[in-house]
């Protein structure tokens, strides 16, 4: 299911709480995620050693999962495992954590247990959709580091969203700017 390189998914995990967050599944010799150790996803993976990679086409869900908690109505429970209702396919993994002390990220190696294909959508490449993902990644970096260079990158990808995106992408980018305004509101 995962091509070589990095596939963007929304990872769902269960710990004390169910969580969803965008993550990149890396396929280079083996499958893994380079995971920020401060994330809820990492805490859940450490707690119960499982992760579901949900393949999703809704750009707003990536933005929301990156900055907020998804409502419980977004989740289905499959044999106790949290999956996203919006997923057109998902893969459940057991996880092996390789945590080097000095590093900010841990390598979480993924071993597939089972998968479901719910739909096989035809997905023409849309630069607007990809630009929403790029802008959202830079927004999560801005959230962590508050470096102005990320705001410039978000503006740049926003211009691509406006040129190439459809309604969903435009709504997703508007939602992202709302979260960014809240972050800047935090400053003072």
Ligand X SMILES: Cc1cc2nc3c(=O)[nH]c(=O)nc-3n(C[C@H](O)[C@H](O)[C@H](O)COP(=O)(O)O)c2cc1C
Give 184: exposed, middle or buried? Use CB within 10 Å, 0-12, 13-18, 19+.
exposed
> Contact with ligand X (CB under 6 A): which of 18, 23, 74, 83?
23
Per residue in 75-106, is it b (16+ CB within 10 Å) or e — as a string? Answer: beeeeebbbbebbbbbbbbebeeeeeeeeeeb
- CB 105, min distance to ligand X, A: 6
Site pattern 86..125 for ligand X (x: CB under 6 A): ----------------------------------------
Q: For residues 93 and 51, is the Cβ–Cβ distance under 8 A?
A: yes
CA neighbours closer than 13 Å in the CB half-sphere of residue 111? 5
Give 129: exposed, middle or buried? Use CB within 10 Å, 0-12, 13-18, 19+.
buried
Q: Is 19 in the site for ligand X (CB under 6 A)?
A: yes
Q: Is 140 in the site for ligand X (CB under 6 A)?
A: yes
- CB 57, min distance to ligand X, A: 13
Q: Is 39 in the site for ligand X (CB under 6 A)?
A: yes
Distance CA 110, CA 120 (A): 23
Tokens 């949900």 map to which residue? Answer: 54
Q: For residues 84 and 116, is the Cβ–Cβ distance under 8 A?
A: no
Q: Is 60 in the site for ligand X (CB under 6 A)?
A: no
- CB 116, min distance to ligand X, A: 22
- Site residues for ligand X, window 63-92 (CB under 6 A)? 66
Stretch near ligand X under the rule CB under 6 A, chosen from 33-41, 48-56, 154-162, 172-180: 33-41
Stretch near ligand X under the rule CB under 6 A, chosen from 32-40, 53-61, 119-127, 148-156: 32-40
Q: How many residues bind ligand X (CB under 6 A)?
A: 19
> Contact with ligand X (CB under 6 A): which of 2, 7, 15, 34?
34
Q: Give the Å distances, CA to CA, from 121 to 55, 80, 88, 92, 161.
A: 11, 26, 8, 20, 21
Q: Is 12 in the site for ligand X (CB under 6 A)?
A: no
Interface ranges with ligand X (CB under 6 A): 8, 19, 21-24, 33-36, 39-41, 62, 66, 133, 136-137, 140
């Amino acid at each position: 299911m995962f091509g070589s390189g990095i596939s963007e998914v929304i990872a769902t995990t269960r710990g004390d709480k169910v969580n969803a967050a965008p993550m990149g599944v890396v396929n280079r010799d083996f499958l893994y995620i380079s995971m920020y150790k401060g994330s809820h996803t990492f805490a859940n993976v450490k707690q119960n050693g499982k992760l579901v990679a949900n393949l999703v086409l809704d750009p707003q869900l990536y933005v929301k999962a990156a900055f907020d908690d998804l409502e419980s109505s977004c989740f289905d429970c499959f044999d106790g495992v949290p999956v996203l209702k919006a997923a057109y396919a998902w893969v459940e993994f057991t996880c092996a954590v390789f945590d080097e002390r000095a590093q900010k990220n841990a390598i979480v190696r993924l071993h597939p247990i089972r998968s479901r294909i719910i739909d096989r959508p035809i997905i023409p490449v849309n630069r607007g959709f990809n630009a929403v993902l790029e802008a959202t990644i830079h927004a999560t970096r801005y959230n962590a580091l508050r470096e102005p260079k990320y705001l410039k990158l978000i503006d740049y990808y926003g211009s691509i969203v406006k040129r190439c995106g459809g309604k969903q992408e435009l709504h997703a980018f508007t939602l992202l700017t709302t979260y960014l305004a809240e972050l800047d509101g935090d400053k003072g």
